[in-house]
Amino acid sequence: MMAQRRVVVGSKVGLHARPAAMFVQAAAKQPVKVTIAKAAGGDPVDARSILSVLALDARGGDEVVLAAEGDGAEQALDELAALVARDLDSEG
Amino acid sequence: MAQTLSGIGVSPGVATGPVARMAAPPVVPTEATASGDPEAENQAALAAMQAVAATLEERASRAPKEAAGVLGAQAMMAQDPTLASKVTEGVQAGKAAVTAVTEAFEEFRAMLAAAGPYMAERVADLDDLRNRTVATLLGVPMPGVPDPGHPFVLVALDLAPADTATLDAGRVRGIITEEGGPTSHTAILAKSLGIPAVVACRGATAVAEGETVLVDGTEGSVVVGPDEATVREALDAQEAKLASLQAVSGPGRTADGHPVQLLVNIAGDRDLAAAAAADAEGVGLFRTEFLFLDRPDAPTGEEQQAVYQRVFDAFSGRKVVVRTLDAGADKPLQFVTVPNEPNPALGVRGLRTSRRHPRLLEEQLAAVAGAAAATTAQVWVMAPMVSTPAEAAAFAEQVHGHGLGTAGVMVEVPAAAVRARHVAAVCDFLSIGTNDLSQYTYAADRMAGELADLLDAWQPALLELVRLTAEAGSALGKPVGVCGEAASDPLLALVFIGLGVTSLSMAPVSVPAVRAAVAAHTLAECRGLAGLALEAEDGRAARTAVRAATRS
């Protein structure tokens, strides 16, 4: 069963630059493969691929959909969704 | 015969030295032949990408923090699993490693380029990675910063973060790029390293290797083959400038004693000690968004009051202008921002948020009033994104209702500037936010780097609106400030004063240069400069005219 989370990008700059890198690094640490897509439409891409995430061009305020399946999917999605919702660019 | 090239100065200062040029990127052979062993080709390609990533990571570990982040991100791109699988697909289809790598990079390059001008820098990062990977595979010299063995002025088409990050400020005296803009990596990194830099300098790459140049990163000019007198004059002027900055202190005054308050912008209580230590008369813009960002609900009144108290205490006896919550557009808040607004910059943001969430502003004002009651700081309060006199009047009434004596509004919307007389009549002061005001006046997105010329704070239409606003304030005896980075440009500060602005608020680091510039000119001179700027055709001409006049 595919689990999903819809979340609004909290970083002003969007999922670009530092926020994108932080997101991809966190995705790479998950035990399951997570995909990310824009809620507005478009194909889901591998959340561990920085180039694919950048090419999504998700801006601050855009809604994205995270999806995963298998053991640990729910927890992985919770963790990544919380990260996406934060303003990563304004932090330390 | 000396020749002068012009570009955009992005990192201030003057430098001179012989030119050393960047190595050209490797050329991908059009008909690379595959070995016939896809597994070997695949391993070669992936090993090259790993080697490039390792080099970048190693450089990141030696680079300053900001540069390290950029390099680290580039290293991540080199290790991208989707990129690697595309390369593998290519070699399995019988392509040579170098061809498969080039095509895989090209695919992502096209996707990033399609995302718009916003991605231009990432496209440059990707091109740099491809060049490094190809050079590794072909065994040709790595493109990058040259090392001629002596100090030099670096000339390049454009610089990638990998190039700029490890630049040694002791070796590289100046940087000139043919391409790039004010928001390019070259600009950001040169500034952080303190290396004078000029970007978008046409003709730069045609300058011969070893030729002496004089780079002026403040003016954006490059003199090729300058004579000794020119060099000496430029270096002397720079030294005199540094000395004069240190010679002036205290409240802002023009040469004839006209007071101009110099204030600092703060965005939280993190750098409070440094901001409070600045030789300034207080805070001209205390942004409060940081209290509200990254949380699911609004901070409590007590929580807010404690933070305001810390800020007021740090500036006790001085003025602190608190800007109420400016949410929306580029600063969405989880609990107030309207989702999916088609055009958030023109949507429910700034003061407009209180139409939907009146309690948020009420609570914030109560917290400010509570903290203000227990401090000797002079607390002023202003609202962002005010468009009409009615909004200004309602806000002022609300602020006064909390027992706070001084209520003002920001002038960021052209409508408020055009009707400044009516707006100023119903509140106690005005503060001009030049970034948003130029975005709305020129209908140009603040984030759009390619529209930088329109967003230039020297644009005469913007200055006209500043004039209208300042005149309205002066007619009614109400202060009119400028907050925003435009106030940190010492020349533009003179123009603002000439237009009638009574205070300037900027990053603490910018205060000394502005104070020195103000002290060196009379109010009448500032008015003359303002007149020149208003008569100019565009931002560039305005800056040039004012600069020429301050020299004479």
The pLDDT value given to residue B188? 61
Q: Which residue of B has its CA nearest to A33?
A: B81
Q: How many CA atoms lie within 13 A of A3 on its CB side?
A: 16
Written as six digits, the tokens of A22 are: 């932080």
The CA distance from B106 to the nearest CA of chain A, in Å, is 12
CB contact under 8 A, B339 and A21: no
User: What are the distances in angstroms from CA B109 to CA A16, A18, B119, B133, B267?
Assistant: 15, 19, 10, 15, 36
As for how many domains chain A has, the answer is: 1
Rounded-to-integer distance, Cα B285 and Cα B264, Å? 7
**Measured over all CA atoms, what is the biggest interatomic distance in chain A, rounded to whole angstroms?**
37
Domain containing A39 — which CATH number? 3.30.1340.10
Residue partners of A23: CB distance under 8 A and separation at least 6: A15, A47, A53, A80, A83, A84, A88
Rounded-to-integer distance, Cα B325 and Cα B312, Å? 17
Which of B112, B118, B331 faces A12 most closely, judged by CB atoms?
B331
Predicted TM-score (pTM) of this structure: 0.57
CB contact under 8 A, A55 and B115: yes
Written as six digits, the tokens of B13 are: 């200062």
Q: Are B465 and B417 in contact (CB under 8 A)?
A: yes
User: What are the distances in angstroms from CA B46 to CA A48, B36, B85, B527?
Assistant: 17, 17, 10, 64
B38-138 topology per CATH: Enzyme I; Chain A, domain 2 (1.10.274)
The pLDDT value given to residue B164? 62
Is the Cα torsion angle B489, B493, B495, B499 positive or negative in sign? positive
Q: Are B502 and B479 in contact (CB under 8 A)?
A: yes
Compute the 3-state secondary structure of chain B and give helix, strand, coil in percent, each to the nearest 5. 50, 15, 35
Find out if CATH 3.20.20.60 is the number for domain B248-551.
yes
**Among candidates B434, B512, B442, which has minimal Cα distance to B480?**
B434
The pLDDT value given to residue B484? 73
Q: Are B287 and B266 in contact (CB under 8 A)?
A: yes
Tens of pLDDT along chain B (552 residues) come to 579 999 988 778 899 999 998 877 788 777 777 777 899 999 999 999 999 999 888 888 877 776 787 788 889 999 999 999 999 999 999 999 999 999 999 999 999 888 776 677 788 889 889 999 999 998 887 777 777 778 999 999 888 766 665 677 678 999 999 887 765 667 766 765 668 899 889 999 899 989 999 999 888 999 999 999 999 999 998 888 777 777 788 999 999 999 999 999 887 665 688 789 889 999 999 989 878 876 777 889 999 999 999 999 999 999 999 999 988 766 667 677 666 777 888 888 899 989 988 999 999 999 999 999 999 999 999 999 999 999 999 999 999 999 999 999 999 999 999 999 999 999 999 999 998 899 899 998 766 656 777 888 899 999 999 999 999 999 999 999 999 768 888 999 999 999 999 999 987 767 888 999 999 999 999 999 999 999 999 999 999 999 999 986
CATH homologous superfamily of B3-22+144-242 equals Phosphohistidine domain (3.50.30.10)
CB contact under 8 A, A90 and B294: yes
CB atoms within 10 A of CB B379: 24
Rounded-to-integer distance, Cα B387 and Cα B104, Å? 50
What is the extent of the structural domain holding A51?
3-90
Residue partners of B542: CB distance under 8 A and separation at least 6: B458, B459, B460, B463, B495, B532, B533, B534, B536
Which of A10, A17, A46 faces B73 most closely, judged by CB atoms?
A17
CB contact under 8 A, A63 and B339: yes
The pLDDT value given to residue B427? 98
Q: Are B328 and B337 in contact (CB under 8 A)?
A: yes
Residue partners of B3: CB distance under 8 A and separation at least 6: B223, B224, B225
**Among candidates B80, B83, B88, which has minimal Cα distance to B40?**
B88
Q: Are A45 and A53 in contact (CB under 8 A)?
A: yes
Rounded-to-integer distance, Cα A16 and Cα B317, Å? 42
The pLDDT value given to residue B119? 77
**Is B521 one of the catalytic residues?**
no
The CA distance from B381 to the nearest CA of chain A, in Å, is 24
Is the Cα torsion angle B62, B65, B69, B70 positive or negative in sign? negative
Which of A17, A55, A86 faces B294 most closely, judged by CB atoms?
A86
For tokens 């509004």, the residue is B409
The pLDDT value given to residue B71? 82
The pLDDT value given to residue A92? 44
The pLDDT value given to residue B30? 75
For tokens 């936010």, the residue is B433
The pLDDT value given to residue B304? 94
| pLDDT tens-place string over residues A25-72 | 999 999 999 999 999 888 999 999 999 999 998 989 999 999 999 999
Decide: helix, strand or coil at residue B505. strand
